[in-house]
Amino acid sequence: MNSYINSVLSDLNAKYGHEKEYIQSVTEVLGSLDKLIESEPKYKKFKILERIVIPERVIMFKVPWIDDKGEIQINIGYRVQFNSAIGPYKGGLRFHPSVNLGILKFLGFEQIFKNSLTTLPLGGAKGGSDFDPKGKSAREVMGFCQNFMRELYRHIGAHVDVPAGDIGVGSREIGYLFGQYKSIVNSYDSVLTGKGINWGGSKIRPEATGYGCVYFASEMLKTRKIDLVGKRVLISGAGNVAQYAAQKAIQLGATVLSLSDSNGSIIDHDGITLEKLEMIKELKNVRRGRIEEYASMVPNVEFHRDCRPWQLIPCDIALPCATQNELDLADAEALVKNGCIAVCEGANMPTTLDATAFFQKNGILFAPGKASNAGGVATSGLEMSQNAIRLNWHSAEVDSRLQSIMVNIHDAARKAAAEFGEPDNYVMGANIAGFRKVADAMIDLGI
Ligand code: NDP
């Protein structure tokens, strides 16, 4: 690895080695910039690497709230405003017990390059809390969201920072957050995306990340003249991204064999149909149940407790859509052995670094999340545009914009990778294409 990159990584490791996921994501990005850094001395001269790896601002705050028993509960809230060189900060809020500063720094860092790839003028950020919405009543979730926003509102704004949803933050939570923001500032600002369709949301935003991931997979397959029709697809997760990745894959003629949640995976040997998927949406989004229940609702379905789908059944395509580091080297070896030809990340950094290297070494088409799941933030950008012009576009219009954004991201990543001699290396291509625009803007804007 280039000595400049090496020295930035070792400094960062010395200071933040305990923030494992943050170090992992920086290592992945910087590790793929070797050839660019060698060919463009300006990035070293302006100390871009040292500057881009540190957030512009980190906000941490306590969130006290009262549970249904009348007990006071306290959680920690965060907003990591990572980089605003090309636009206002933008990135989701995650509510999950595993949330800590290191996780949010990894997600915020990834978001910089993802947002840059969308071609929209959006900076990178991420936020959230260690609050767990699972098992809480709607009243408790509302109380938490209101108290979270009581602090966050002073740090965000339509031209400052526009959060969205992520794990544990869906349209219900966005509603409570937006309601509180609006009542504090007395202004209907476009300050959150993922809003409900009747109060400023965009058509296709709920679908966008999952649909976009499948559009990206389909573009990758086209480079090898392969069609999605009839392909066996394994998907992990059963939340927003997984549900709509499954929906689009089924619509395009693929057979979806699995979904999962934090308790385990289901394998549906007959394939999940659109009708069965509606049952899953009702189970997960309305009743907030466990994916395990699907096995007792539908014949020929197995539930595998505490297992991820990757080693359970052969597939052609894998779409990890749950969480970070959910596909490791042993999973990658099993996938390749069983004939998998493409892996397209719907989640953020679901594949470990050694698993990614294994896929690349074995000629598997591999799309990093910052490219293949960028459809969500891109459509959030389209939601902001619609709010700004006070118009709502039809589903078909938003979907067609989403499709062309995903094709552009695919082509930009491929082109950048080809420029440096490795056209199939989407990791290198996405990182170079995303990095260049932000780094050049940082130079233009001065110190
Ligand atoms: P949801 O909360 O809707 O769903 C998350 C799913 O992943 C659930 O099935 C959940 O299971 C499972 N999951 C979460 N954490 C774990 C864990 N530690 N181990 C095993 N399973 C887990 O989130 P989203 O679908 O919105 O997000 C999924 C991924 O996609 C995340 O990495 C997110 O950052 C990324 N992403 C999301 C975007 C969006 O627009 N929503 C945009 C871009 C990326 P359970 O129900 O048991 O909690």
Q: Which residues pair with 236 in a beta bridge?
A: 320
Looking only at the bridges linking them, the beta strands covering 264-272 and 301-305 are: antiparallel
pLDDT at 153 over 90: yes
pLDDT at 388: 96
**How big is the CA angle at 239 (ends 236 and 240), to the nearest 5 degrees?**
115
Quickly state the pLDDT bin for 1 (edges 50, 70, 90).
confident
pLDDT of residue 104: 98
Calculate how far, in angstroms, residue 107's C-alpha sits from the geometric centre of ligand 1: 13
What's the whole-number average pLDDT of the chain? 97
What Å distances lie between residue 345 and 167, 214, 237, CA to CA? 15, 10, 12
The answer for residues whose C-beta is within 8 angstroms of residue 57's C-beta and 6 or more apart is 80, 81
Residue 410 pLDDT exceeds 90: yes
Is the CB of 166 inside a 6 Å radius of any atom of ligand 1? yes
For ligand 1, whether the C-beta of 108 sits within 6 Å is no
Residue 131 CA to ligand 1 center (angstroms) comes to 15
Q: Cα(96) to centroid of ligand 1, in Å?
A: 10
Protein residue with least CA distance to atom 13, ligand 1 = 322
Is a pLDDT exceeding 90 seen at residue 76? Answer: yes
Q: How far is the CA of 159 from the centre of ligand 1 (A)?
A: 28
Q: Are strands 365-367 and 342-344 parallel, antiparallel or unpaired?
A: parallel
Cβ–ligand 1 distance for 323 under 6 Å, the answer: yes
Hey, what are 142's tokens? 């509302």
CA 215 to each of CA 250, 271, 372: distance values in angstroms, whole numbers, following the listed order? 12, 20, 8
Check if 348 has its Cβ closer than 6 Å to any atom of ligand 1: yes
State whether the beta carbon of 110 lies less than 6 angstroms from ligand 1. Answer: no
What is the pLDDT averaged over residues 125-136? 97
Alpha-carbon gap, residue 294 to 308, rounded angstroms: 16
The pLDDT value given to residue 305: 98
The model's pLDDT over 281-304, given as tens digits with 9 standing for 90+, comes to 999 999 999 999 999 999 999 999
pLDDT at position 225 over 90: yes
* Residue nearest ligand 1's atom 23 by CA: 167
Q: How far is the CA of 322 from the centre of ligand 1 (A)?
A: 4
Residues written for the chain: 447
Atom 20, ligand 1: residue with shortest CA distance:
262
Instruction: Kindly report the pTM of this predicted structure.
Output: 0.96
Nearest CA to ligand 1 atom 43: 373
- pLDDT (average), residues 206-230: 98
Mutate which of 106, 240, 247 for ligand 1? The one with the most ligand atoms within 8 Å of its CB, which is 240
- 428 CB burial (10 A radius; 0-12, 13-18, 19+): buried
pLDDT at 101 over 90: yes
424: pLDDT confidence band, cut at 50, 70 and 90?
A: very high
Ligand 1 pocket check for 376: Cβ under 6 Å = yes
By annotation, the residues acting in catalysis are 126
